[in-house]
Structure 1
Amino acid sequence: MNKIIIGCIAALFCIFNADANLLVTPTRAELDDVSHRSSVFSLVNKGSSTARYNIYFEDKVQLAEGGYRSIDDSKAVLAQFVRYSPRRVTLEPEQGTRVRMALRLPKNTPIGEYRSYIVFHEIPLTPVILNKASDDNADTFSLSVTAYMRISIPVILRVGELNGEVTIGEVTDEKVQTSLNVTINRQGQRSTYGDIELFVENIITGQVHLERVGSVKNAAIYTELNKRIFPVTLSRALKKGTEVIVRYTESKSLKDAKVVEKRIAI
């Protein structure tokens, strides 16, 4: 019985020590029907052993509380609009390759923003064979568990001139002046993503200087949501009543990228 327990513990150890050894760039691809009709992903195997990956599309929805939920659909939205190659790669340690993607947009495609995720899913190099113990009465068994990594990269397609507005909503104290919850509101036909920054003003030799006291990079709100709340950890505790400048700067990859600010006293 002890050997059974040891076998289970070893299997769980394998699960939680899966190495994410694939380096993928960029971490977001953006296509449109005018000037950005292709994209290239660079892959590098940073692990110490040969690895093989299947490459495919899947759809997910963003959740207001954070994270994503996969949609059980037989065909991802962007699968009908793009072609990509290769669909499977095998990489030696420190070896790299490229996956090329090109837009194939059907005529009269409705104006809007479309999004799917390209997935790089590690698969076994050889079939996994489970060996059954020869003695059916033995008090041991062989348990083999392997965790294979998956990396999902958002691919966004914009068709037509899409409008988008963004505002900073409620800002609330989270943990005794060491963390703030910042609400970003989104309206319009396109997603928004960018950086949240928090500043306080300091007077140094008679001049006002902005001190950044917190930030969140790549804060994203996709079209299925109208707002999200982002917790921002402060680099130092702030006194009650301190005025904080909250700034949200949209990614420059967005055609009409905006910068919005709000002053609040915590």
Structure 2
Amino acid sequence: MKLKIILLITIVINLTSFAHANLLVTPTRVELDNKRDKSAVFSLVNKSNQTSRYEIYLEDKQLLPSGEFEIIDSETSTTSLASFTRYSPRRVSLTPEQGTRVRLAVRPPKDIKQGEYRSYIVFHQIPLAPTSSEQTTDKTVSLSLSVTAYLRIAIPVIMRVGELTAQLNIANHQISDIEGQQQLIVSIARQGERSSYGDIEVFDAKSDELIGSSKNAAIYTEMTHRAFAVTLNNKIKPGTDLVIKYVENDGLFKPQTIEQKITL
């Protein structure tokens, strides 16, 4: 008789996303100020078919030109909210379809400088308590391999101090064709004290038909410009006149709408 040995190997895959089939988080973006709106409540619902546990924490990161995020040190960042933000709970376990709430409050110092501050609240799935089992069989040694993907959702929390403005313009554009699908690459330039957040829309200039859009386009303060790929509904012929429009979210201070007419 030999002891059957079960070796469990877990591969952890971090997925950074605002929405995922296994965990529903709302809201997906929080914008605060240092006067009236200093708190937020997040709603979490476990949409998977098994009990899951999540660790909750704050982190700071910046957006790179590639569209990826780079984690930065909260202690050296001049725009971090982490040192004066409180949240609770910091760890939750949810059964299937169970929900809970996470409360967050920002308490900025009285002498805080005017500007935009940003951190991310992270909901990071972590393993449940490990279990083990032993069975005896004749002349058997087995290896069990388990692959588990652990979810990681990061939600931006932004606080603006003062009446911050931004200057925007459509800096560049070009057409691309990826596997037969046309995309208009739109570059938006930003300057000023605050980030920008809104929707890009592309219209046929002749018919005024909406032929493509990109929702929730964000240009953070660490960037002076950012390029967005807008997928077009129909293939556009050369010589067609289009109108590119960028509409800022109306929750921003002095939101702007900019547009530019182009000819392909």
Shorter chain as denominator, the TM-score bin is 0.7 to 0.9
Give the equivalent residue in structure 2 for 1:250: 248
1:181 has 2:182 as partner: no
Native 8 Å contact 1:78 1:116 kept in 2: yes
Cα deviations across residues 160-192 of structure 1 (Å, max 9, x unaligned)? Answer: 221211111111122289221101111001100
Query: Alpha-carbon deviation of 1:46?
Result: 0.8
In structure 2, distance between residues paired with 1:140 and 1:93: 31
Give the equivalent residue in structure 1 for 2:82: 79
Native 8 Å contact 1:20 1:149 kept in 2: no
What's the C-alpha RMSD, in Å, of the aligned pairs?
A: 3.0
**Paired letter, 1:244:** L
* Aligned sequence identity (%): 52
**Paired letter, 1:56:** Y
**Paired letter, 1:105:** P
CA gap of 1:177–1:85, structure 2 versus 1, over 3 A, is closer
Query: Alpha-carbon deviation of 1:74?
Result: 6.5
**Paired letter, 2:34:** D
Q: Residue 43 of structure 1 aligns to a residue in which SS?
A: strand
Query: Alpha-carbon deviation of 1:146?
Result: 2.6
Query: Alpha-carbon deviation of 1:226?
Result: 0.4
**Paired letter, 1:92:** T
Native 8 Å contact 2:166 2:191 kept in 1: yes
Give the equivalent residue in structure 2 for 1:163: 165
In structure 1, distance between residues paired with 2:32 and 2:131: 39
Q: Residue 174 of structure 1 aligns to a residue in which SS?
A: strand
Give the equivalent residue in structure 2 for 1:89: 92
**Paired letter, 1:49:** Q
Cα deviations across residues 116-174 of structure 1 (Å, max 9, x unaligned)? Answer: 11000111220466x99x9xxx9864444432111000010111221211111111122
Query: Alpha-carbon deviation of 1:26?
Result: 0.6
1:66 has 2:70 as partner: no
**Paired letter, 2:192:** G
CA gap of 1:215–1:196, structure 2 versus 1, over 3 A, is same
Give the equivalent residue in structure 2 for 1:217: 215
Native 8 Å contact 1:15 1:145 kept in 2: no
Native 8 Å contact 1:167 1:184 kept in 2: yes
Q: Residue 150 of structure 2 aligns to a residue in which SS?
A: coil
In structure 1, distance between residues paired with 2:42 and 2:141: 50
**Paired letter, 1:192:** S
Query: Alpha-carbon deviation of 1:57?
Result: 0.4
The structure that is helix-richer by fraction is 1
Give the equivalent residue in structure 2 for 1:191: 195
In structure 2, distance between residues paired with 1:72 and 1:109: 19
1:109 has 2:107 as partner: no
1:53 has 2:57 as partner: no
In structure 1, distance between residues paired with 2:239 and 2:108: 54
- How many residues end up aligned between the 2 structures? 249
Q: TM-score, normalised by structure 1?
A: 0.84
CA gap of 1:165–1:55, structure 2 versus 1, over 3 A, is same
Give the equivalent residue in structure 1 for 2:28: 27
In structure 2, distance between residues paired with 1:220 and 1:168: 14
In structure 1, distance between residues paired with 2:125 and 2:76: 20
Query: Alpha-carbon deviation of 1:63?
Result: 1.1
Structure 1 gap ranges (5+): 1-6, 203-208
Cα deviations across residues 50-96 of structure 1 (Å, max 9, x unaligned)? Answer: 11111100111101121212225568821212211111111111111
In structure 2, distance between residues paired with 1:128 and 1:156: 41
Native 8 Å contact 1:177 1:238 kept in 2: no
Query: Alpha-carbon deviation of 1:194?
Result: 0.5
Give the equivalent residue in structure 1 for 2:124: 121
